[in-house]
Amino acid sequence: MKTTLIKNGTLITADETVKADVLIEGERIRLIGPSLDAPPEALVVDATGKFLLPGGVDPHCHFDLPMFGTVSSDDHYTGHKAAAFGGTTTVMDFVVQEPHGLQHSVDLWLQKSAKAAIDYSFHMNLTRFDEVIAAEIPSLVEMGITTLKVFTAYNGRLRLDDGAIYKALRIARENGMLVMIHAENGDVIEQLISEALAAGHTSPEWHAHTRPAWSAIDASLRAAALAQMADAPMYIVHMNAGGEADMLQYARERGVPVMGETCPQYLFFTVEHLKRPDGAKWICSPPMRSEADNARLWQALVDGDIQTVGTDHCPFFFDGSKPIVYEGQPIAIPGKELGAGDFTKIPNGLPGVQDRLPVLWTTGVGAGRITPNQFVALTSANPAKIFGLYPRKGAIAPGSDADIVVWDPAKKVTYGVAHSQQRTDYNLYEGWELTGYPEKVFLRGKLIVDGEQWLGKSGDGQFLKRSPGAPVL
């Protein structure tokens, strides 16, 4: 059994900051304490001046996702590798609901993810609903999948009506499951898109203009109301408007079992970015909002009103007609150029799984907005708790998986596409000056990132079966 001793580091968890050594035996943390000894054959890592963080848990990713006649450019190897370089060791992906049943859908996604490089789990998209599907839902728990995702937008494709969502919530409650919701008003969006195209408005900023913030605010409060009426927990994904944070706060103050997630892109970017010549790079759904929305979402993180920061990682090439070199091989995948001249045909999605921790450390911890402990809670411990993985993940504690990031708080990086391992041709944070970056990343005791060296491999990742009954934070 391989033994590793990480000495002289400062442990940062969601609850405490303490100087200690960490002894790893095999895949688990064996001991934590001062001045620990290790057998002669142990790998000893000196973490003097460094922080030891639990590996990040990204609750919201899309790998190898078909969309608009192409596919997201990171798969379950390349995206996982990028996550690891950014300090994330667990990711959660979404299974597409196929016509031949939920088991068949999950089996297809397990085949896709056999190349996984870090640990992972799944949420189940619920985009069709009838009595047969309703009867199938409890079987997901036996597969280790305890979360359903529903949509109030994408009429005729992904959306369920409120009655179906309410029924799904009650089934989830009975089985200790959690419903996640993409909250936008699909009826308003479809009307605005139709009017924009008829008027000849086809440039990227119209993606935002046709998905107004009040569409999300309305749908978020409606989602919370459904959760309260069903007496079932709900998790609102990718919250993007300040008014959504207001609605979440309103609901939680009244005892509604609802939680929220935001993403880095909604903390920094606005509709003004979509007006740039390369505005398609910023197209995702829901869209960017305003600086006031950025500020309100930051405040919700500071105050604890929003519980997690995911990424909604779903990258596409900006210009998929031109190959990039990835691991020594040229690759080109059709991307956002497919929507040149028509914003409705631009694949919706952004890279972000590697960027999340370094960008949030600099702009959150480094800027004094949040403490290091809040950083760990938002990016690791809280998602692990909400999705039934804690304390196996999201913790540095005896018995936990040895997913540990040796974090150098003084390391300076000029960030961008040249630094990123995400398999696409652009980065939202091009040229940003970051302070604080992973130095080493361990996955279940195995060193998979050492500086700029990749030591992981396809197949290293394990599928994480989750148990029902996770807490509402």
pLDDT of the residue at 208: 98
Q: What is the pTM of this model?
A: 0.97
pLDDT of the residue at 209: 98
* Residues 116/91, Cβ–Cβ less than 8 Å: no
Model confidence pLDDT, tens digit, residues 258-293: 999 999 999 999 999 999 999 999 999 999 999 999
How far is it between the farthest Cα atoms of the chain?
74
Strand partners, 19: 10
Domain 55-386: top CATH class: alpha beta
Average confidence (pLDDT) over 240-254: 98
Domains of the chain, by residue range, sit at 55-386
Model confidence pLDDT, tens digit, residues 176-201: 999 999 999 999 999 999 999 999 99
* Residues 50/407, Cβ–Cβ less than 8 Å: yes
pLDDT of the residue at 236: 98
Task: From residue 370, give the alpha-carbon distance in Å to each of 82, 185, 294, 302, 303.
Answer: 25, 32, 15, 6, 9
* Residues 161/186, Cβ–Cβ less than 8 Å: no
26-31 — which CB contacts under 8 Å span 24+ positions? 26/1, 26/2, 26/445, 27/401, 27/402, 27/444, 27/445, 27/446, 28/399, 28/400, 28/401, 28/402, 28/444, 28/445, 29/396, 29/397, 29/398, 29/399, 29/400, 29/401, 29/402, 29/404, 30/398, 31/398
The SS3 of residue 116 is coil
Among the listed residues 461, 440, 466, the one whose alpha carbon sits nearest the alpha carbon of residue 76: 461
pLDDT of the residue at 193: 98
In the predicted model, is pLDDT for residue 1 greater than 90?
Answer: no
Model confidence pLDDT, tens digit, residues 391-438: 999 999 999 999 999 999 999 999 999 999 999 999 999 999 999 999
List the structure tokens of 129. Answer: 């609903």
Strands (E), 288-432: 308-309, 324-326, 329-331, 404-414
